Amino acid sequence: MNNYNKVFLLLLSVLTGCWSYTPQTNISKPPHIESIFKKKTLAQESTEQENVKKLKTRWQESLRKDDVQKINLYDFDSPTAKKYRSFADAPNNKLSQDLSLELLIQLAYERNSSIKDVKKRLNSVKQRYSQTFFLQNLLSQYSSFTRTINTKVAMQSQRPKTEMNTPQPGRLTIMGEIINTEVQIAELDYIITLRNLINKITKDYADLIYARESLHIQKEHNGIVSALENTVRDKFRAGLAGYGDVLKAQILKANIEEDMKTYEERLKTIKIRILTTLELPTDSKLGIPAEKEKNKLEIKLSNLYEKALKHRQEIKQIELKSKKMEQIISLAKDKLYPDFTIGLSYFENRNKERVGSGKQDIPFPDRSQKMPRFDFGQRDSYIEEMMIKNAAIKEKLQNTKQKTITQIRDLYFQVDTSWRQIILHQKKLIPLAKEALKVTRVSYQVGKKVDFLDVLDAERTLLNLSLMLAKNKKEYLWNVADLQKTIGIFEFSS
C-alpha cells in the first residue's frame, strides 16, 4: 500500500469516529450538589415550638385584660381613686358638693370618650396575635412584585420558593414578637392619650381656681373703690374736693365692674370645658374647687433629665419602632433567604424556558448545566430599605432625647420663675401695697395734703398685684403640669 492510501485510510478513520460521537449528557436529572448546610436539630425545633406556645399564652392573657390598669403614669389603684371612680355613672351630686382635681381625673378616666376610643383600638391590636400570617402574606406579595419586574435579560422564577410559603416555628416566633411590639406601641398610644387628658384637666382646674380667685379679688376691690367714692363725694359736698376726683373714682369703679363681668363669663366657659371633658350636660353644677397648699418643687434638674429619658412615652415609642423594624428585617431575611435544606433551597434550578415569539435560540443546546444560577440580589433592596429606615428611626430617637432635655430645662426655668414670683408677691409686694393704700387713704380722710389720685393709684396697684399673684399661681400649676407631661409621670419624689 502506497503512502497515499495510508493517508486516505487514516483520514477516513478520524472522520468516522467524529460522526459517531455523542455528548455524554443527561439533562433529565438535576445536577447533584453536595449539601454544605446542616439541618436544624430536634432541640432547636423544640425551642422554636416552645416560643410559639409562649406567644399564644401571652396573647390569651392580653385579651383577658380590659385595659392597661397598672401604668407608670398616675395612681389609679389607690382606695381614694377607686372610690371616686365609683361615682362615674351618676357624678352630678358628688361634683356639686366636693370638687377636687383627683375627682375630675378619676371621672374622666371612666367617662371620657377619647379614652374609650383608644382602649378599643388597643384591644383591636391585640387581636393580631391570631393573625400572624398576614405578615407572611405581605412579604409574599413583595416577593411576587420583584418577580414581575424582572426584565427578559434576567432570570425568571417558575414559582415561589417552597421555603418562603412554608410556615416555620422560628418564623412564627418572629411574627409573634412583631405583634407583641405593636401591642406595646398601642399601649403607649393609650398612655399618651391618658397623659394628655390628665394634663388638660389639671390646667382647666387651675384655670377654674384662677377665675374664681380673680373674680373674688375684683369684688373685694369694687367695695373698696365704692367706699372711696362715698368719701370723695362727702368731701365734694363739703367743698373740700373737686368733682374731678368723684369722676376718677367712678371711672375706676366702672373698669372693675366690667372686669367682673369678664371673669364671670370666663368662669362659665371653664366650667363648660370641664363638663364637656367629663361627657356631662353643660347645665350640670360644679362645686367650689378645693385648693391645696402650693409647695416648691424640690427636685434636682439632673433627676428630671433622668426621669424624662426613662419614662417619656414618645421616647419609648421610637425605641419600640426601631425594635419592630429590626424584627421585620430578621423576618425578611428568614423569609427571603430561608435556611438551606436538601432539595428545598436556592440551589434548585428554577430556570423558565420561553416559548413563542419570546423564545430565543440557545447556543450549545445539548450542553449540560453544571451549576444553577443565583438570584439573591433581586430581593436585597427590600432589606436594604428597611435597614436604612431603621437607621433613620435611631437618628430620630437621638433627636427626640435632645429635644426632651431642652424642654425639661425650659419648663424647669418657668416653674422656678413662677414660684419666685409667687413668693415675691406674697411676702413683699402685696404687703407693701396694702400698707401704701392704708396710709394714703387715712391721710386723705383726715384732711392731710394727699391728692385723691394718689389714693386711687395705691388702690389700683394693690388690685393689679393681687391679680398678678393669682395669675402666677395658675402659671405655676400649668408649668408643673407641662413638666410632668414632658417627663411622662404625674408624681414627683423629692
DSSP string across 299-340: --HHHHHHHHHHH-HHHHHHHHHHHHHHHHHHHHHHHHSPPP
Task: Compare 292 and 148 and report the one with higher pLDDT.
Answer: 292
Q: Where is average pLDDT lowest: 84-88, 206-210, 370-374, 458-462?
A: 370-374
Q: Is the pLDDT of residue 341 over 70?
A: no
Per-residue pLDDT band for 355 (boundaries 50, 70, 90) equals very low
Q: Where is average pLDDT lowest: 303-317, 355-369, 427-441?
A: 355-369
User: What is the per-residue pLDDT for 19?
Assistant: 47
DSSP state of 297: -
Q: Tell which residue, 372, 279, 317, has the closest CA to residue 188.
A: 317
Q: What is the mean pLDDT of residues 21-25?
A: 45
Task: Compare 59 and 486 and report the one with higher pLDDT.
Answer: 486
Tell me the pLDDT of the chain averaged across its residues.
Answer: 78
Cell numbers linked to 465: 398685684
Give the C-alpha separation, 277 to 114, whole Å.
9
Helices (H), 238-300: 243-277
Q: CA Rg, the chain, in Å?
A: 41
User: What is the per-residue pLDDT for 30?
Assistant: 44
Give a yes or no: residue 18 inside a domain. Answer: no
Q: Where is average pLDDT lowest: 135-149, 460-474, 479-493?
A: 135-149
pLDDT tens digits for 412-466?
999 999 999 999 999 999 999 999 999 999 988 888 888 889 999 999 999 999 9
For helices 313-336 and 301-311, angle between their N-to-C axes, nearest 10 degrees: 40
DSSP state of 279: T
Give a yes or no: residue 350 inside a domain. Answer: no
| Domain CATH for 190 | 1.20.1600.10
Give the C-alpha separation, 440 to 457, whole Å.
10
User: What is the per-residue pLDDT for 8?
Assistant: 60
Which DSSP string do the residues of 329-394 spell out, in sequence order?
HHHHHHHHSPPP-TTSSTTS-------GGG----SSTT----S----GGGGHHHHHHHHHHHHHHH
Q: What is the mean pLDDT of residues 353-375?
A: 46
Give the C-alpha separation, 121 to 440, whole Å.
66
User: What is the per-residue pLDDT for 259?
Assistant: 94
Task: Compare 401 and 342 and report the one with higher pLDDT.
Answer: 401
DSSP state of 427: I
Q: Is the pLDDT of residue 192 over 80?
A: yes
Q: Assess contact for 457 and 485: CB atoms under 8 A.
A: no
Q: Is the pLDDT of residue 349 over 50?
A: no
Q: Assess contact for 140 and 336: CB atoms under 8 A.
A: no
Give a yes or no: residue 24 inside a domain. Answer: no
Q: Tell which residue, 289, 304, 322, has the closest CA to residue 409.
A: 304
Q: What is the mean pLDDT of residues 376-392?
A: 79
Q: Name every residue whose Cβ is closer than 8 Å to that of residue 385 and which is 6 or more positions away in sequence.
A: none
Q: Is 89 helix (H, G, I), strand (E, B) or coil?
A: coil
Q: Is the pLDDT of residue 139 over 60?
A: no
User: What is the per-residue pLDDT for 97?
Assistant: 86
φ, ψ at 81 (rounded to 5°): -65, -45
Query: Which pTM does this prediction carry?
Result: 0.74
Q: Is the pLDDT of residue 161 over 70?
A: no
Specify burial of residue 493 (Cβ count, 10 A radius: 0-12, 13-18, 19+).
Answer: exposed
Give the C-alpha separation, 318 to 322, whole Å.
6
Task: Compare 71 and 438 and report the one with higher pLDDT.
Answer: 438
User: What is the per-residue pLDDT for 107?
Assistant: 93
Q: HEC profile for 132-158?
A: CHHHHHHHHHHHHHHHHCCCCCCCCCC
Q: What is the mean pLDDT of residues 328-344?
A: 67
Q: Is the pLDDT of residue 370 over 50?
A: no
Q: Where is average pLDDT lowest: 50-59, 245-254, 314-323?
A: 50-59
Give a yes or no: residue 415 inside a domain. Answer: yes
User: What is the per-residue pLDDT for 76?
Assistant: 85
Cell numbers linked to 423: 413668693
Q: What percent of the chain has pLDDT over 90?
A: 43
- Number of domains within the chain: 1
Give a yes or no: residue 356 inside a domain. Answer: no
Q: What is the mean pLDDT of residues 96-109?
A: 91
pLDDT tens digits for 24-46?
444 444 444 344 334 455 565 56
Give a yes or no: residue 138 inside a domain. Answer: yes
pLDDT tens digits for 229-245?
998 898 888 888 888 88
Q: Is the pLDDT of residue 261 over 70?
A: yes
Per-residue pLDDT band for 212 (boundaries 50, 70, 90) equals very high
263: containing domain:
42-286+295-343+377-487
Give a yes or no: residue 102 inside a domain. Answer: yes
Give the C-alpha separation, 188 to 192, whole Å.
6
379: left (phi over 0), alpha (psi -120 to 50) or beta: alpha
User: What is the per-residue pLDDT for 132?
Assistant: 57
φ, ψ at 289 (rounded to 5°): -70, 135
Q: Is the pLDDT of residue 347 over 70?
A: no
User: What is the per-residue pLDDT for 157?
Assistant: 47
User: What is the per-residue pLDDT for 71?
Assistant: 61
Per-residue pLDDT band for 339 (boundaries 50, 70, 90) equals low
Q: Is the pLDDT of residue 175 over 80?
A: no
